[in-house]
Amino acid sequence: MENILNNLWDWAILAALLIGAIYTLSIVRRESSDFIDESYLITFGRLSLPIPTWWSITKQENGLIEFARTDTRYDWYARFEFIPGDVNIPLTDILHAKIEAEELDYDKDDVVIETEPHHLFKDPATQTHFIEVIRVEGKATQRIEERVYLDMYLFRNKAEGGHYICESRSSVLNGLVEGPFFEECLSLMKLEKN
């Protein structure tokens, strides 16, 4: 008993940390269950995207929209961009050029590559519209010094005269927090009616 009284401040600090951790976990758990019910729709070109309410728009221009968590200190952002251009350039070449320009070196044993629209999009109309798709997800080193978690989608319909690049970029640990919401946002994406 005397030992507990001597370390009362230590026990109080430990209890406060545990309560803080439990509170944080409950918020993250609630966010994941509330995402669908509480998301709002953003129209981006011809796309309709469900966006979590806790994402804030940090940049919006013609053909570009960026989101970040401004309510936390997460090292994370999501970027959705439409780039007009030659539709005959293979998406693999566009992906390689982006990787080289940003000096990314993906971890070879921890990268996922997907090219099937029906695996990436739930809406059948979206699956048939975007027949060219590449998704690359994994940990990488950028410019030989910074570790990042990058989830990148490239997709297009040649009739649109360009391609979309959507990416979620974060530190390695924060990618596990917001990454699933980014994936769900794109998987639920729908085409706006003309």
State residue 78 phi and psi, 5-degree precision: -120, 140
Reported as a pLDDT band with limits 50, 70 and 90, residue 3 is low
At 101 the pLDDT is 94
Domain harbouring 48, CATH code: 3.40.1000.10
Q: Quick one: average pLDDT of 7-18?
A: 80
CB environment 19-51: b (16+ within 10 A), e (fewer): eeeeeeeeeeeebeeebeeebeebebbebbbbb
Chain CA centroid to CA 79, Å: 8
Do 16 and 45 lie in a common domain? no
Q: What is the pLDDT of residues 19-49, one digit of tens each?
A: 877 776 666 555 555 677 788 999 998 899 9
Do 104 and 60 lie in a common domain? yes
Do 32 and 60 lie in a common domain? no
| Domain span holding position 82 | 39-191
Could you give the number of structural domains in the chain?
2
For residue 79, pLDDT beyond 90: yes
Do 65 and 132 lie in a common domain? yes
Do 17 and 96 lie in a common domain? no
Do 43 and 33 lie in a common domain? no
* DSSP-derived 3-state class of residue 189: coil
At 96 the pLDDT is 94
Do 43 and 31 lie in a common domain? no
Q: What is the pTM of this model?
A: 0.79
Do 12 and 93 lie in a common domain? no
Give the C-alpha distances (Å, rounded to integers) separating 173 from 64, 76, 149, 176: 26, 10, 8, 6
Do 115 and 162 lie in a common domain? yes
Do 110 and 28 lie in a common domain? no
Give the C-alpha distances (Å, rounded to integers) separating 145 from 98, 105, 141, 171, 176: 18, 10, 6, 12, 20
- Whole-angstrom Cα distance, residue 120 to residue 153? 9
For residue 189, pLDDT beyond 90: yes
Do 29 and 71 lie in a common domain? no
Do 108 and 183 lie in a common domain? yes
